[in-house]
Amino acid sequence: MNKKPRSLIRIIIPVVLTLVTIALIVWPMLAGGQYVVLDPKGPIGASQRDLIVISTILCAVVIVPVLILSAVIVWRYRDKPDNKSAYEPNWSHSTKAEAIWWTVPIIIIGLLAIVTIRYTYDLEPSKPMASEKAPVTIQVSSLDWKWLFMYPEQGIATVNTLNIPADRPVKFELTADSPMNSFWIPQLGGQIYTMSGMAMTLYLQADHEGQYWGSGANFTGEHFAQMRFDVNATSEEDFDKWVNEVKQQSQPLTQEMYKTLAEPGTSNVAYYSSFPEGLFQDIVTKYVVDGQSAHSKHGEASGAKEITTNDVDKSAN
């Protein structure tokens, strides 16, 4: 007498859980929220979004039929008195079925490999972007627990805020004067690590004017969650105007002030009309002793390039 209610409950619970999961995924979009990675505002972010979508669709070709068949098989062959399914205890092989469930995944894996290799090459972080406009260089240093942005061409610096011209490539040169972190502006492109004793390069571009958010995406201790910054993409004219305002209305960043800034602790948004010449190079080579990086022994084992002062100077030029 109790079999039917129990069977009904076993059906209702998975259905309800599935509907709740779908609702949790869809609701933020309908409520005005954003899936920032899937709402790119630049060519790098758009290409990465396309790779995510293509990979998801290819995987779904295998996963969705498997999930559907799992439900169908459980339902069709469930234990019940009037089960009319054929009883075939000696059945063990089907050439047609084997061909389908081996051939299709192999094709999918092959397509995934081709797509991934192509996008991996195209999206190599240090690969310059094709553009008629020269890139803006911004030097980035992650600190405990704040971000320092230096504009070597404009001669200014900011803390926890970033201004860039829209529709123009930006060349980020990144390092760390603190534990390793990860620089990430989700709507413009994927994250890249900042590491002490190393200078990384990342090209991004904002196609549209607007305000985006960036963050540190690697756990670095107590105030990790506060390592966020606004990214303001403006027109060339507004960008130049902002640079002039920073130069006229802000104080210079001295070496002593930088030492204080580099100490562990949070910081508000700050602007500086200038910064010590070669500061980025000094941060990268901070751990260089007698011409060798503090990471040189690890580099010999892993094949990573040793960073020296000359290497950084060449990279900056």
| Nearest residue to 36 via CA among 193, 236, 217 | 217
- Res 17: pLDDT: 79
The answer to whether 177 touches 283, Cβ cutoff 8 Å, is yes
Position 11 in a domain: no
What is the CATH number for 192?
2.60.40.420
8 A C-beta contact, residue 272 and residue 253:
yes
Dihedral sign, Cα of residue 281, residue 282, residue 288, residue 289? positive
> What is the reported pLDDT for 305?
43
Q: What is the pLDDT of residue 123?
A: 94
Q: What is the pLDDT of residues 233-277, one digit of tens each?
A: 999 999 999 999 999 999 999 999 999 999 999 999 999 999 999
Structural domain count, the chain? 2
Measured N-to-C along each axis, helices 43-76 and 95-122 cross at an angle, to the nearest 10 degrees, of 160
Q: Do 45 and 165 sit in the same domain of this protein?
A: no
* Cα separation, 59 vs 246, whole angstroms: 49
What are the 10-residue block averages of pLDDT along the chain, 317 residues in total? 57 76 69 75 95 93 87 78 75 87 91 94 94 96 96 97 97 94 95 93 96 92 90 97 96 96 94 96 86 46 42 45
Position 71 scores a pLDDT of 83
> Could you tell me the sign of the dihedral formed by the alpha carbons of 253, 205, 314, 123, in that order?
positive
**β-bridge mates for residue 271, sequence order:** 158
Q: What's the pLDDT tens digit per position in 143-190?
A: 999 999 999 999 999 999 999 999 999 999 999 998 899 999 999 999
Give which of 190, 172, 169, 185 is closest to 50, Cα–Cα.
190
In a domain, 218, yes or no: yes
Q: Which residue has 């002593």 as its token pair? A: 256
The answer to whether residues 111 and 167 belong to one domain is no
Q: 15 lies in a domain?
A: no
Q: Edge to edge, what strands does the sheet with 189-194 contain?
A: 161-165, 228-234, 210-216, 181-185, 189-194
Q: Are residues 45 and 170 in the same domain?
A: no
In this structure, the answer to whether residues 140 and 247 fall within a common structural domain is: yes
Which domain covers residue 41, as residue numbers? Answer: 22-75+103-123
**For residue 239, is it within any domain?**
yes
Which pLDDT does position 12 carry in this prediction? 76
